Amino acid sequence: MSGLKSRIEDFLTHEAALLDDKRFDEWLELYDEDAHYWAPVLPDAAERGECMAHFDEERSFMEARIQRLRLPNAYSEHPPSRTCRLISNIQVMGEDEDGSVQVRANLVVHEFRLRVTGEPTRALYAGAVRYTLRPQGDAFRIHAKRIDLIDSEGAFYLSSIPL
Amino acid sequence: MMAPDQSLKKHVADLIKPDRVHRDIYTDPDIFDLEMDTLFSRAWMYVGHVSQIPNKGDYITTRLGPQDVIIMRDNDGEVNIFHNRCPHRGPHLCGNSRGNTKRIVCPYHAWSFTLKGKFFGMPFPEEYPQECLKSEFDLTRVEDVEIYRGFIFARLKPGGVDLMTYLGEARSGFDDIIDRSPEGEIEIIPGAIGHRYRANWKMMFENLNDILHPMGAHASAATAINSVSNPAKLHPVTKSLVGSSKMMPVLPKLQSKITRYGHSYATGLISVINQEIPKGDHYHALEKAYGAARAEEILKTDRHLMLIYPSSNVNGAQCTIRVVRPLSVNETEVWGYAFRLKGAPEEVTRNSVFYCNIATSGFSPVVADDLEIYERAQQVHERGMTDWVNVARGYRQEADAGRNAPPPATSEEYIRNQYRVWLEFLTGDAPCQA
């Protein structure tokens, strides 16, 4: 078995590829049943459910989010957005008693949408991601993914693809 | 900005017909400037809540029509609003969205001002004539500031009706938040969630009381939410967001309430579908404070999305306010704020935050399709693909029945009403006189 950091890097690279390739069902499978996926507005946000957030979701809502992307009447995805993302600067911050691993990484996502209804749109999202990963065999399941966008206190145009 | 000439005002009057509006109102930068100079400067605008500045010296910065302003609590506890610019050479005084200070100090030459906006000091004052120092160098105050139950309103240019007259029945949207607190007090949740769209600010005001749009725009979100494998795990607020096509037959039974100055809301859903209110912890807290009958009345209050023209909209049941900030003729920002109800269970706060996030975030699958529609409409208007925009739903029936009959919530009368008020502000010499 290769080292922990190397396995984490493989796992997070795999997650990024699944999202860029729109393999959303497989992406959701990376998440625990009780997973939490969120992007708070305030950098010092501590508690879920108490803070303003760009998204603050449990697995069932993540499922709704990706199901919508497949529907013919998800008009904000006509035509579908494309993304290219880098996940890098990976650091293992700690390991919990139950075997969970705390990971910090930097994420940059470039999003593009060709629109016949107007000018093509491009967006750039960047921020720190904090994962809680639970080991499962050689890989992991994501228990928590928190994204602190550097512009989290700004206003965002519509965006449909998960970060 | 130069004073708008009379020919522009005359032109504007030709753009609003009883059942349609011209595309220029969404696309002409001169009309946007005229809106800023008239509507957004002469209407009462919601600008914030007192809990954002609880202590002496606390301030927030925001925009009031075309002016950037500082909302400051002074040492006497009074709320003052100043133009956020130095009377000397002009730069903004405050560059943060919020803060606390003993004095306002200009970052350029260190001119300083009291929390009441009075000139306090500068280097080399002897080089100015004495009479300037007395008054000319005070900050420019916004004179018309009124606070209704903690909600701060301001009007950039003095004159016109008072706040209560301007709000009319729409004040009940604000009551509806506070009344849900068993202690009659609320405080704002830190942080605001913002989205932005590439279209005119009026698109949002036309959309939010349109109870037919969820059938089209939000159909994908509804289908997705209704088909998750374990719906019991969804947040309870989720389903209420997207509506359902099963609601179609009851929609004409709902009413649209429209006020003199452009505000409106839809109502009747709870009574039409005979919905029972949940008798949980929130009900019991209200019952203890106000008695069973009043508790039931409060929780059955049903004013969906009160539009406060032209600044904001209030969702009383979810304790949220969204503020609309027009940036240019085709760029708009919207900021959502959630409130904690003092004395209510924490679950109520969590619901309010959840609702505010998902009803405001640009990443929300519910919001995304609204913004897509606004931007498509803006493109069509900007490229002149059509000249006239239809707002006629319900027009003929109401014309036949007379203006006094309350329209059904399916009518676009609330939009036509917005444009009557818009025209009055943009072209009238003395708009907003009772």
Query: Is residue B402's pLDDT more than 80?
Result: no
> Is residue B290 located within the same domain as residue B323?
yes
Residue that finishes a domain, picked among B148, B163, B183? B148
Query: Is residue B2's pLDDT more than 60?
Result: no
**The pLDDT of residue A1:** 56
**Mean per-residue pLDDT over chain A, rounded:** 95
> Is residue B212 located within the same domain as residue B136?
no
ipTM of the complex: 0.96
Q: How confident is the model at residue B403 (pLDDT cuts 50, 70, 90)?
A: low
* Contact criterion met (CB < 8 Å) for A39 and B363: yes
> Which tens digits make up the pLDDT trace of B380-401?
999 999 999 999 999 887 777 7
- Rounded Cα distance between A6 and A2, Å, is 7
Residue B26, in any domain of the structure: no
Residue that finishes a domain, picked among B148, B163, B194? B148
Residue B412, in any domain of the structure: yes
> Is residue B296 located within the same domain as residue B248?
yes
Residue B159, in any domain of the structure: no
> Is residue B331 located within the same domain as residue B233?
yes
Of A41, A61, A67, the CB nearest to B235: A61
Residue B323, in any domain of the structure: yes
Overall average pLDDT of the B164-192 stretch: 96
CATH 3.10.20.30 fits A2-149, yes or no: no
Q: CATH number, domain at B320?
A: 3.90.380.10
> Is residue B87 located within the same domain as residue B203?
no
Q: How confident is the model at residue B418 (pLDDT cuts 50, 70, 90)?
A: very high
> Is residue B82 located within the same domain as residue B121?
yes
- Lay out the sheet containing A31-40: strands in order across: A53-58, A31-40, A139-149, A121-136, A101-113, A82-95
Burial class (CB in 10 A: 0-12, 13-18, 19+), B361: buried
> Is residue B258 located within the same domain as residue B195?
yes
Of A39, A68, A158, the CB nearest to B372: A158
Residue of A nearest to B338 (CA): A52
Overall average pLDDT of the B108-131 stretch: 92
Between A144-158, B27-41, B219-233, the lowest mean confidence (pLDDT) is in: B219-233
Q: Which residues in chain A are closer than 8 Å to B217, comparing Cβ atoms?
A: 75
Contacts 24+ apart (CB under 8 A), A46-52: A49/B350, A49/B353, A49/B354, A50/B189, A50/B349, A50/B350, A50/B353, A51/B189, A51/B190, A51/B191, A51/B353, A52/B189, A52/B190, A52/B191, A52/B192, A52/B193, A52/B336, A52/B338, A52/B353, A52/B356, A52/B357
* Contact criterion met (CB < 8 Å) for B193 and A52: yes
- Rounded Cα distance between A106 and B168, Å, is 51
Residue B409, in any domain of the structure: yes
Of A42, A71, A156, the CB nearest to B362: A156
Nearest by Cα to B381 from B40, B20, B36:
B20
- Whether B206 and B411 have beta carbons less than 8 Å apart is answered as no
- Whether A53 and B193 have beta carbons less than 8 Å apart is answered as yes
Residue B392, in any domain of the structure: yes
**The pLDDT of residue A84:** 98
Question: What's the domain range around B135?
Answer: 45-148
Tokens 């720190």 correspond to A128
Would an 8 Å CB–CB cutoff place B421 in contact with chain A?
A: no
Q: What is the bridge-based pairing of β-strands B264-267 and B20-22?
A: unpaired
> Is residue B77 located within the same domain as residue B142?
yes
Question: Which of residues 42 through 101 in chain B touch A, CB cutoff 8 A?
Answer: 97
DSSP state of B378: H
**Domain count for chain B:** 2
Exposure letters B165-199 (e unless 16+ CB within 10 A, then b): ebbeebbbbbbbbbbbbbeeebbbbbbbbbbbbbb
> Is residue B227 located within the same domain as residue B340?
yes
> Is residue B239 located within the same domain as residue B356?
yes
Query: Is residue B268's pLDDT more than 90?
Result: no
* Contact criterion met (CB < 8 Å) for A118 and B198: yes
> Which tens digits make up the pLDDT trace of B303-360?
889 999 999 999 999 999 999 999 999 999 999 999 999 999 999 999 999 999 999 9
Single-letter residue type at B203 = M
> Is residue B53 located within the same domain as residue B200?
no
- Whether B323 and B335 have beta carbons less than 8 Å apart is answered as yes
Cα–chain center distance at A59: 12
> Is residue B75 located within the same domain as residue B193?
no
Residue B17, in any domain of the structure: no
- Rounded Cα distance between B306 and B291, Å, is 27
A50 versus A151: the higher-pLDDT residue is A151
